[in-house]
Amino acid sequence: MTQTSDDVTWLTQSGYDQLKAELEHLTGPWRTEIAQKIEAAREEGDLKENAGYHAAKEEQGKYEARIRQLTQLLERAKVGEAPADSGIVAPGMVVTVAFDGDKDDTMRFLLGSREVAGEDLDIYSPQSPLGRSINGKKIGEDATYELPNGKRASVTIIEAKPHAG
């Protein structure tokens, strides 16, 4: 299968390692633990009225979905170094933009995957309209993108620094 840039999730090596460790935990020790919880609850009797059994099954479903999500993410991940501190916007950078050139109306966010943000930052995908419009732009340059309502917005790149997380 050929991957397009829209299919790829860009991760630093540390981000990839963090997600891989989470996946390994969920597919190993966690699966054993949840199977034991379900079995113990099953032994309590009538499953229709067994809240512990239903809670364990619900927890299992939630984490199995997370396992599928992580597996898909890691299969299409492209691992690389953090972007250079060149002032050029790229995935993996914390970007500050000013809306319509207004230095008082700014937003700071990570251009990348919400899976590895690890801090209180808004995250915009490189595939989002804003992400596509600013990717490759230099500090001081303007970019225009389409809003969900069909209107257009413009931003000026104020700062672009590699994400430290």
pLDDT digits (tens, 9 = 90+) for 104-160: 888 998 887 766 655 577 888 888 899 999 999 999 999 999 988 999 999 999 999
Q: Is 44 helix (H, G, I), strand (E, B) or coil?
A: coil
pTM of the model: 0.59
Whether the CB-CB separation of 53 and 35 falls below 8 Å is answered with no
CATH topology of domain 9-80: Helix Hairpins (1.10.287)
CATH topology of domain 93-162: Chitinase A; domain 3 (3.10.50)
In 3D, which of 90, 73, 72 has the Cα closest to residue 81?
90
Please, which residues bridge with residue 148 across strands?
A: none
**Numbered ranges of CATH 3.10.50.30 in the chain:** 93-162
Cα 148 to Cα 159: distance, rounded to the nearest angstrom: 25
For residue 4, what pLDDT is reported?
A: 42
**Helical (H) or strand (E) element with 99:** strand 93-99
Average pLDDT over residues 53-61: 89
**Numbered ranges of CATH 1.10.287.180 in the chain:** 9-80
Of residues 104 and 62, more confidently modeled: 62
Whether the CB-CB separation of 6 and 108 falls below 8 Å is answered with no
Whether the CB-CB separation of 112 and 131 falls below 8 Å is answered with no
